[in-house]
Structure 1
């Protein structure tokens, strides 16, 4: 597969409204069109952006959920990706039989490429969702290998590392970041710091798209960010409280070419696999070399 090294990434930070599925999808479609018109190749939307986040009951959750293969939201996003010739990563409320998942779908111009289910559930999510059971898949796209994490997954270095070891060039993070206790106001959000650290320590691009607003009393912090493979922001952090589109051009081939930090050190090669497992005890298969 021929990969396009340089791509434009856009993160479309907006405010989904709980239960207003039609309105949320229409908003997302308008943002996809806007990002594509500005040259975006890859567009990232927030976590659970078609449904809203703060659920009150399982009945409400089931009513808002849809299957990946037959969901109306997925179909409309597929139409938009084909029309605009873009790749899309977006969070949605997935139903699989009687199980519900906090998921993200990866869609290319030719349709659904795959889906990821949030592995690490945050707070009351455990009342509604099953823990993800798909591991940490890496999806092949026309511009490179793409991994997905969702929100709280980003607090686990193992998740980033397993994606890196499978050859991910970029990790997209649909998210609904909430305020962290004791956050010093003069420092970057902890979520931003984690994205920067993961990009740096794994030599891969990170594109994290948050939401804004307050939903059923829960505030969200915005500050979507795109980070290059060296760990430095190249777009954002976005506004803390307003919808905002952030975009950046990145050369994904550089994350592969420049993994050597100096004449002696290469972050993947330097791992002590004599002391810990190559793939951290998982059945994932390395695709690094």
Structure 2
């Protein structure tokens, strides 16, 4: 399995419709086909893009949920990944027994690679979802090591750092960013700033795919972005209000090669693990070297 690669990454920013799962999935498949034909090898879709986001009841949530093994959305995306020879990271509403999760699936040409469950729930999500219980897994793909966060997870530096310490070259972020109070109009969205800071301070590529539109009175801010390992945007931010496909070519191997900022400083090595735990109290194993 090649662990160094220049790949083409895309984020498919669009507007899912609440409850219209079949239409949402069909639209996502059309976007995957378009991006794959254009040469993209890794495609990121928004958070809960098969179901919509603003749920009104647990009954509605259960009706829209599906499990990984038998879900029709997962089946459709798996076929698309195989047919188009791409890797997908996409948000979906997961059911595991009686529990519901705000999750993201990672699917390669050979099938499902793994699942991430949102760790930090935002606002009314707590009425419907369990907090993620899978930790911060890093998935091995044919082009490198891939981590996943979902939306509000990106506000926690511990989440980014734990992925970096496990060797993630890229972090994909399916998201439904909402307006932040007191956001200055002349500055980038806070979500974009957080992605840039995390990429820079951990030497990782970040691909964050948001949605647009207003759903049950909740507006979303778009501005999907792809950031290189130095922390600078290489695609986007996308439109604040319109669907948009953004694409960039990145060399993921540079995220490993260039963690040295100068002759003295290396972002992971310079941590003061004599003063705080190397893995921040988790049982994950470091794999950054």
Give CA deviations for 1:101-129 in whole Å, capped at 9, x if unaligned: 00000000000000000000000000000
Give CA deviations for 1:44-78 in whole Å, capped at 9, x if unaligned: 00000000000000000000000011100000000
Alignment partner of 1:19 is 2:19 = yes
Counterpart of 1:9 in structure 2 is: 9
Matched ranges for 1:1-289 at <5 A: 1-289=1-289
Secondary structure of 1:30's aligned partner: helix
TM-score by length of 1: 1.00
Cα distance in 1 for partners of 2:172, 2:288 equals 19
Cα distance in 1 for partners of 2:274, 2:133 equals 28
Aligned length: 289
Following TM superposition, the consecutive aligned residue runs of length 4 or more in structure 1 with deviations greater than 4 angstroms are: none
TM-score by length of 2: 1.00
Runs of at least 5 residues in structure 1 that lack an aligned partner in the other structure:
none
Comparing 38-47 with 4-13, greater Cα deviation is found at 4-13
Secondary structure of 1:283's aligned partner: coil
Runs of at least 5 residues in structure 2 that lack an aligned partner in the other structure:
none
Cα distance in 2 for partners of 1:26, 1:10 equals 18
Residue 4 of structure 1 and its aligned partner are, at CA, apart by: 4.5
Secondary structure of 2:159's aligned partner: helix
RMSD: 0.4
Cα distance in 2 for partners of 1:262, 1:191 equals 28
Cα distance in 2 for partners of 1:129, 1:68 equals 16
Residue 130 of structure 1 and its aligned partner are, at CA, apart by: 0.1
Cα distance in 1 for partners of 2:161, 2:33 equals 33
Cα distance in 1 for partners of 2:102, 2:281 equals 25
Secondary structure of 2:103's aligned partner: strand
Cα distance in 1 for partners of 2:119, 2:270 equals 27
Cα distance in 2 for partners of 1:262, 1:4 equals 22
Q: 1:4 to 1:270 in 2, by over 3 A?
A: closer
Secondary structure of 1:269's aligned partner: coil
Cα distance in 1 for partners of 2:158, 2:282 equals 10
Secondary structure of 2:89's aligned partner: strand
Cα distance in 2 for partners of 1:120, 1:3 equals 30
Residue 16 of structure 1 and its aligned partner are, at CA, apart by: 0.1
